[in-house]
Structure 1
Amino acid sequence: MERKTKVKLGIAGMLVVVLGVLVITIAFLAGNSGVASRDDEMNMPKEYDYATAVASNGMELHYLRTRPSNVKLEAVHNNVTAAPFYGINGGFFYQMALLSIAVVNDVPVNDEQEQYGIGMANAKYARGTLVWDGSQDRLSVQVVRQASELVVTDRSRFWAQGGISMSLDRNDLWLN
């Protein structure tokens, strides 16, 4: 009977060790799931200003201000707050599909998709699209449906982010 007890204790001890290894492995993987570590912080952008402003209705607004040349478009397939980036959610999406233009040098940012939802088109209709022309160092808003319709000086030096549903400087049309 003493031998059976030792065998049971041995098996229980091995299970505790296996369980401990499993818990450590899960903790390690969870710790590396896209959350920025201290080392990642060293590689973050530094050329920006963070500030707040109070709107006329009392709402506090938080913003990052930087040059358009410092902006990088990334497809984040996770909670944006858990991603190792400073920035904002700039487009429309549904599940893994990107429903607004998001291109860098004519390359869609959501390259994990086949065709639909890669970032080469604004879904449904032409929308305002923020465009940085790197050759001119100029920012503009262009109302387009497809990334191929964007007007830039050099198609290898630009980025574009769609999703601006309101037409800037066309206040009479914003409701439509």
Structure 2
Amino acid sequence: MKGKGNEKFAFIRRSFWIYLCAFILIVGVITGWLLSKDGIPEGVNYSQITDDNGVVLHMVQTNPSSISLNSINDNVVQSETNGINGGFFWENQLLSIAVMDGMPANGSPKEYGSGWYNVKYDRGTIVYDRITRMLDVQRAASVDDLHMTDATKFWAQGGVSMSIKDDSRWYNVAVQEERLPFPDDERLRSAMAYDNSGQIYLIVTSTKCTAEQFRNAIKRNVAVGNLNEAIFLDGDGSSQLLAGNVQLKGDSRKVLQMIVVNGQ
């Protein structure tokens, strides 16, 4: 009887380690599935492209339903949240539209600096209508100027129009009308774009370039043959990206708002 008891105990002990190893393996598989591609959320794609003009583009591709517009007052990398920097700001005031479902990212509706306004100018703003699931760029000074199906079911990110389909007038629109800062300086750049299929592209450079060089690199490399429209976002030291293990800190400054990629 004693021998049978020892055999039973040994069997249980062996089984325990087998089940423990299986459990650890399953947990590892699930964790790898949830945080695939070295920490990049499921349904999100990251790529790096170097254009012929030397501009290095870091690009995150996702669905518009996976986008959130958040106020962070932190460096994007330090926030530990996948995404890129958002629109223009000054100290604790947002100078670009950043609204989710009727609520600005940095305060209350119609409050200055909250993300309700593109301050001073009608500027290019990407709007995603959650009802129609359509994207477009609207030039607006305020959320009140935007068009959507339901004022509680949309997001809108402001910047400066890139006018992808208008090579003859884009510079005049971006610089003379919408006042893109430092267009001819070589600086880090950021952008938000979308294609004809409704995919969003968040783009940040790790090389300094002019606005024209940046725009040309995007036209030649992003959703080639299918790119619909884009806007310039804040740039220079504010150009920041976190995509899993890929970290672009800009000049390490804090930004007020970022475009978060949540995944599926």
Above 0.5 in TM-score?
yes
- CA offset digits 1:88-137 (Å, max 9, x no partner): 11200111111000001111110289922000000111000011111111
Unaligned runs of 5+ in 1: 1-40
Question: Are 2:47 and 1:48 aligned?
Answer: no
One-letter identity of the residue aligned with 2:150: D
**Counterpart in 2 of 1:64?**
60
**Counterpart in 1 of 2:111?**
115
Unaligned runs of 5+ in 2: 1-33, 177-264
Q: TM-score, normalised by structure 1?
A: 0.70
**Counterpart in 1 of 2:81?**
85
What root-mean-square deviation, in Å, do the aligned CA atoms of Structure 1 and Structure 2 show? Answer: 2.5
The count of corresponding residues between Structure 1 and Structure 2 is 137
**Counterpart in 1 of 2:24?**
none
Match of 1:156 among 152, 157, 169: 152
Structure 1 residues 129-140: aligned runs within 5 Å: 129-140=125-136
- CA offset digits 1:23-57 (Å, max 9, x no partner): xxxxxxxxxxxxxxxxxx96974220001111121
Taking the aligned partners of 1:104 and 1:45, their CA distance within structure 2 comes to 21
Structure 1 residues 100-111: aligned runs within 5 Å: 100-111=96-107
Deviation at 1:82, TM superposition (A): 0.5
Q: TM-score, normalised by structure 2?
A: 0.48
- CA offset digits 1:57-79 (Å, max 9, x no partner): 12221110001111111011112
Taking the aligned partners of 1:71 and 1:125, their CA distance within structure 2 comes to 25
Larger Rg: 1
One-letter identity of the residue aligned with 1:144: A
Kept after mapping to 2: 8 A contact 1:129/1:141: yes
Kept after mapping to 2: 8 A contact 1:121/1:146: yes
**Counterpart in 1 of 2:93?**
97
Q: Percent identity?
A: 39
Identify, as 1 or 2, the structure richer in strand.
2
- Which of structures 1 and 2 has the larger relative contact order (alpha carbons within 8 angstroms, sep 6+)? 2
SS of residue paired to 1:131: strand
Taking the aligned partners of 2:139 and 2:68, their CA distance within structure 1 comes to 21
Kept after mapping to 2: 8 A contact 1:52/1:61: yes
One-letter identity of the residue aligned with 1:100: S
Kept after mapping to 1: 8 A contact 2:99/2:155: yes
SS of residue paired to 2:155: strand
Specify whether residues 114 and 104 from structure 1 end up closer, same or farther in structure 2 by C-alpha distance, changes over 3 A only: closer
Kept after mapping to 1: 8 A contact 2:110/2:116: no
Taking the aligned partners of 2:130 and 2:108, their CA distance within structure 1 comes to 26
Taking the aligned partners of 1:94 and 1:46, their CA distance within structure 2 comes to 34
SS of residue paired to 1:148: helix
Taking the aligned partners of 2:104 and 2:41, their CA distance within structure 1 comes to 22
